[in-house]
Structure 1
Amino acid sequence: MKACRVAVVGAGLAGLYAARALHASGIDVMVLEARDRLGGRILTTDELGRPAEDGFDLGPSWYWPQMQPAMETLISELGLPSFAQNSEGDVIFERMSREKPQRYRPTLQEQQSLRLSGGTGSAVHALAKEIPADRILLDSTVTAMALSDGGVNLTVKRSQKSADLRAERVVAALPPRLLEANVTFSPGQDVQTAVRWRDTATWMAPHAKFFAVYDEPFWLTAGLSGTAQSMVGPLVEIHDATSASGKAALFGFLGIGADQRVTLGEEVLKQACLAQLSRLFGADALKPRAVLLKDWAADPLTATAADRVGGGHPLPGSAQWVSGAWKDRLILAGSETSPSESGYLAGAVIAAGRAVADILSIMECK
C-alpha cells in the first residue's frame, strides 16, 4: 500500500494551492485527480475545445483584486500577468422579443474585474509546476475512505483497477455535494454533516457557457463593449471574451435550464445563440470561425442530479464541515466551504489556505 502524510483529493485551484503550500512546508503530499487533466472547473481551451495555455475560459475567468485580496496575492506570488475585462463602449439591453435591443452608455464601475493573460488555466499550470510531477496522479478517482489506526485508507480507482493509498490526513478539495455523492465513508459521516454537504450548491454546476470566436472584434468598431443583458435569451448575460493575445470572442451564459438544454440538443442551442448575437451585435456575429458550448451540468465530475436546478453562489456558513469520528482526519477545502467569497476563485484560495494552516498546526503539535 502506498502512503503519504497528506492526500489531497482534487487538482483544481484549491487542491493545487493546498498541495503546493504543504510541499513547500516539507509535508509529503499526494494529489489525486479523477479527470485526465488539471484544473477541475477551471478549463482554458483553444477554439476547438482542446486544453490550451492561451485560450478561452469555459469555467471561471474573472477576479476582483480590490475585493479579493487572497486571489490578488496568489497572482502576484505566481508572477502572472493580468488584464482588465473590456468595458469600453455601449452596453446592449434586450427587454422583449418584440422590441429592438437598446444601447446604453454604461456607468463607471467601482470594481474592475481582471482576467489572467492566457486564461485562468495559467494559474493552474503555475501552481502545478511547484509540485513534484510524481506527486500528482491524474485519472485517479477516490471511491472510498476508511478510518484506520492513525490515518485514512483511500480506495483509488485507476485504469479500471483499484489501489489503496494510506494518509495521515485528507484534504478534500472538491465541492461537498460531489464528495457526499461519490465517496463512501467508513464509518459513515454524521447525518447532519452529510445533509449539509448534500444541501450545499456547487457553483457553476447548473450552468452552461457559449463562445463564438471571430477573426476580428467587430463590436468594438461599432462602439460596443460586447456586454449585453437579455430577458429574451437564450443567452442572458454576454461579455467580450477576447484574449490578451487578441483572439476575438464573445461569450454568454445560457438562461435555459439543464434539462431543457438536453432536450434541445447542442446544435440547436448553438444556432439559437448565434441568432441572438446577430440581433444584438449585427450580421457579422453570424460568421464565427468557431463556436464552443460547455455544459457543466453534463459533467459528472462537476455536477450531481441535485445540481441541475439553481445556480446561485453558495452562502458562507460555519467552519464546521466535518464532525464526529472524521473531524481530526478529513478537512474540506473546496471553494464552497470558504467563509468568504465561496464559489469564487478567491474562495478556493481562502478555503485551501485555511486547510493548510489547520494541518500545519496539527502536525507541528505532534
Structure 2
Amino acid sequence: MLDIAIVGGGLCGLALARELQRQGRDYRLFEARPRLGGRILTRLAGSGLPLDLGAGWFWPDSHPRLVRLIAELGLTSFPQHDQGRVVGLEEADGKLQDLGDAPVHNGALRLAGGMGALVEALAARLAPERLQLGWVLWAVEDRGAHVELHFRSGGEPAVVAARRVVLAMPPRLVHQQLRLEPPLDASVHRALAETPTWMAAEAKVLVSFPRPFWRAAGLSGNGFARHEQAVLGELFDACDAEGYRAALGGFAALSAQQRETFRLGLPMLIQSQLVQFFGVEAEPGEQYFHDWATEPYTCSALDLEPSHREPEYGHPLLGLAHWGGKLLFGGTETARQGGGYLEGALEAAARLQGQLAQAPVSPVNGEALARFGAWVGARRAAALAEYQRNLQRRLSLQQRAQLTQRALLETVEQVYRDSLRQLEELTLETAAVVEGRSDLTPAVLAPFLGFNDALLEEALRFNRSSCALSNFPSEHEVDPEYRHTIRRDLAAAWREFALAANTHLVGRAGLALASAAVAGHA
C-alpha cells in the first residue's frame, strides 16, 4: 500500500514531493494534466525567449521561501524591466496619455528561463517512477486505516490505496469535481466553495518581436487601458534579462464569456491595441495566448461567476487534517501568507510536511477534532459582530480611552474561554505527550491560526467606516504604534489560551494513565 498520495503537480505538490523524497518516504504524485506545473506555464517563442503564460513574477521582500528555493536549485533571477514612460488610455478613441515614469511592479523579479525552469528543476530531482501524469481523480473514500482514490487514466479506471492523501489542488475544484465519502462537515465544504481560485478566470498574452523597439522610444512597456472596449487591461515588458530577445505581455480585460464570443477575432484585436499603444512596429508580433478559464483543472464554475470581493485565502478549516489525519488540503489558496502566489504554494507545502510528520490521529479523535474545528470556524465568523457589540457597549458607557484595544481584547478572550469549555466537552482518546506537549495540541490550535490578525484587520476596516468613531480620531484611523500595542495584547491572550489548551490535553493523558494504573492493580 502507498504511504502518501499527492494529487496535483503544481508548485505545492512538487515542493512537497521533493521533501518527501529527501526523507525517503513512500509517495506518488498524480497530476491530471499531461504536464507538471499547474498555473506555471512557460512556452518558448520562435526566438527561443521563454514566455510565462501563467505565474511570472515574485517579490523578494515578501516571498522568502521562493527566494530560498531558487537559490537551492541554482536558478537565477533578474528585475522586471520598469524603466521608461508608462502610457494609458481612458477612452477607446481618445488620446494616449503619458502616465509618467514611476515603476509599476514594485521590485518584482523574474526567473531566467521562465518560471518553467523552476518546475523542471524540481521535477529533475524526483524519481520518474513516482510521477503519474494524466491521472484524473474523481473520488476519495475513507476506508478506516487507509483511503481509496479513484482515478481515470487513459480512459481506464484505476484505484489506488494510500494511508494518506494530499489534495494539492484548488479548493473549488475539490468541491466541484470530487466525491468525498463520507462527506466532510458542511462548514468544510463551504470553505472549499468560498475560496476563489487565484487567476482562474484570467487570460494572458505574450507577443514576441525581433527587438524591444518601445525601449528605444523611451517607453517602459507598461500600459493601462481603462475603457470598456479594452481587450488588454494591463501591458508590460516581457523581454529577457539583457533585452536581446523581446516581447510585450498583457492581461485580458475581457471577461471569459467575452473572450469566447470574440475568440476568432482576438488576435486582430490584440494586435490593434498594441499598435495603438506602441505604434506600427507592434503590428508583426508573434502572439502566444492562454485562457485559464478554459482549463478544467484550474477553473471551476464558481470562478466564472462575477465577484467584486477581494479573495481571502488560508481558511483555517482547509489547514486541518481530516478523516483522522488521512486527508489533507494543499495548494496556494490554503496558505495563510502569500495565498494565491507561488510563495503561498511553498508555505502550504511546508505546513503539509509538518502534518505528515505526525502520526495520524485515531478515528474517534479525528471526528472530535473535526467537530471542534467546525465550531471554531463558526465562532471566528461571528467574532467581528461580537467586537462591534463590545465596542458599542463601551461607547454607550461613555468610555473614551483605548476603545479598539479593549473591545478587541475582550472579544478574543471570550472566544478563547468558550473554546476551552468546548474542548473540555470533547470525547478524546488518550494521545502521547512528548516533552510536555500533547500530540493533539497542534490539531486543536490549528483552527485558530491567523485569527488574531484577521480579526484585527476586520475591526480596523470597520472602524474606518464607522460614523460613531469619527469623533475619536485615534480609533477611527489607528496609527502603527497603537496597532502594535493591540497586536501585542492579542498575542498574549493567544499564548495564554494555547498553554491552557495543552495543559488540559496533557492533564487528560495523565488522568488516563493514572486510571489505567489503578485498573491494573485492581
Q: Same fold (TM over 0.5)?
A: yes
CA contact (8 A) 1:190 1:323 kept: no
Give the structure, 1 or 2, with the largest relative contact order (CA under 8 Å, sep 6 or more). 1
Which of 160, 177, 186 pairs up with 2:155? 160
What is the 5 A alignment of 1:188-267? 188-232=183-227, 233-244=230-241, 246-265=244-263, 267=264
What is the 5 A alignment of 1:67-86? 67-86=62-81
CA contact (8 A) 1:14 1:348 kept: yes
* Amino acid in structure 2 at the alignment position of 1:256: L
Q: Distance in 2 between matches of 1:324 and 1:360?
A: 12
Give yes or no for the alignment of 1:314 onto 2:329: no
CA contact (8 A) 2:49 2:246 kept: no
Q: Distance in 1 between matches of 2:88 and 2:322?
A: 53
What is the 5 A alignment of 1:133-148? 133-148=128-143
CA contact (8 A) 2:87 2:224 kept: yes
Q: 1:212 to 1:324 in 2, by over 3 A?
A: closer
Structure 2 residue ranges without an equivalent (≥5)? 362-431, 433-438, 440-522
Q: Distance in 2 between matches of 1:286 and 1:273?
A: 10
CA contact (8 A) 2:135 2:153 kept: yes
C-alpha displacement at 1:47, in angstroms?
2.7
Q: 1:248 to 1:313 in 2, by over 3 A?
A: farther
Point out the structure with the larger helix share.
2
Could you tell me which residue of structure 2 aligns to residue 92 of structure 1?
87
Could you tell me which residue of structure 2 aligns to residue 346 of structure 1?
343
Q: 1:298 to 1:108 in 2, by over 3 A?
A: closer
C-alpha displacement at 1:327, in angstroms?
5.0
Using the size of structure 2 for normalisation, the TM-score is 0.66
CA contact (8 A) 2:331 2:348 kept: yes
Q: Distance in 2 between matches of 1:298 and 1:223?
A: 37
May I ask how many residue pairs the two structures share in their alignment? Answer: 359
CA contact (8 A) 2:324 2:360 kept: no
Give yes or no for the alignment of 1:119 onto 2:110: no
Which of 2, 5, 11 pairs up with 1:4? 2
CA contact (8 A) 1:334 1:351 kept: yes
Q: Distance in 2 between matches of 1:297 and 1:109?
A: 26
Using the size of structure 1 for normalisation, the TM-score is 0.93
C-alpha displacement at 1:149, in angstroms?
2.8
Q: Distance in 2 between matches of 1:80 and 1:310?
A: 38
* Amino acid in structure 1 at the alignment position of 2:90: R
Q: Distance in 2 between matches of 1:325 and 1:228?
A: 46
- Say which SS state the counterpart of residue 15 (structure 2) adopts: helix
* Amino acid in structure 1 at the alignment position of 2:63: Q
C-alpha displacement at 1:310, in angstroms?
4.3
Could you tell me which residue of structure 2 aligns to residue 277 of structure 1?
274
Could you tell me which residue of structure 2 aligns to residue 38 of structure 1?
36
Q: Distance in 1 between matches of 2:314 and 2:10?
A: 22
Q: Distance in 2 between matches of 1:138 and 1:264?
A: 33
Percent identity over the alignment? 35
- Say which SS state the counterpart of residue 72 (structure 2) adopts: helix
Question: Residues 167-206 of structure 1: CA distance to partner in whole angstroms, max 9, x if unpaired?
Answer: 1111111100011111111111221111210111101111
Q: Distance in 1 between matches of 2:268 and 2:298?
A: 26
Give yes or no for the alignment of 1:305 onto 2:301: yes
CA contact (8 A) 2:238 2:246 kept: yes
C-alpha displacement at 1:238, in angstroms?
0.5
C-alpha displacement at 1:79, in angstroms?
1.3
* Amino acid in structure 1 at the alignment position of 2:250: G
C-alpha displacement at 1:314, in angstroms?
3.0
Could you tell me which residue of structure 2 aligns to residue 184 of structure 1?
179
Runs of 4+ in 1 over 6 A off after TM superposition: 363-366
C-alpha displacement at 1:104, in angstroms?
3.2
* Amino acid in structure 1 at the alignment position of 2:81: N
Q: Distance in 2 between matches of 1:111 and 1:258?
A: 28
Question: Residues 13-34 of structure 1: CA distance to partner in whole angstroms, max 9, x if unpaired?
Answer: 0100011111111211100000
Q: Distance in 2 between matches of 1:59 and 1:178?
A: 18
Question: Residues 279-335 of structure 1: CA distance to partner in whole angstroms, max 9, x if unpaired?
Answer: 1111111111x1111110011111121111347763134432177962511111110
CA contact (8 A) 2:321 2:327 kept: no
Structure 1 residue ranges without an equivalent (≥5)? none
- Say which SS state the counterpart of residue 357 (structure 2) adopts: helix
C-alpha displacement at 1:156, in angstroms?
1.7
Q: Distance in 2 between matches of 1:255 and 1:78?
A: 35
Which of 288, 292, 295 pairs up with 2:288? 292
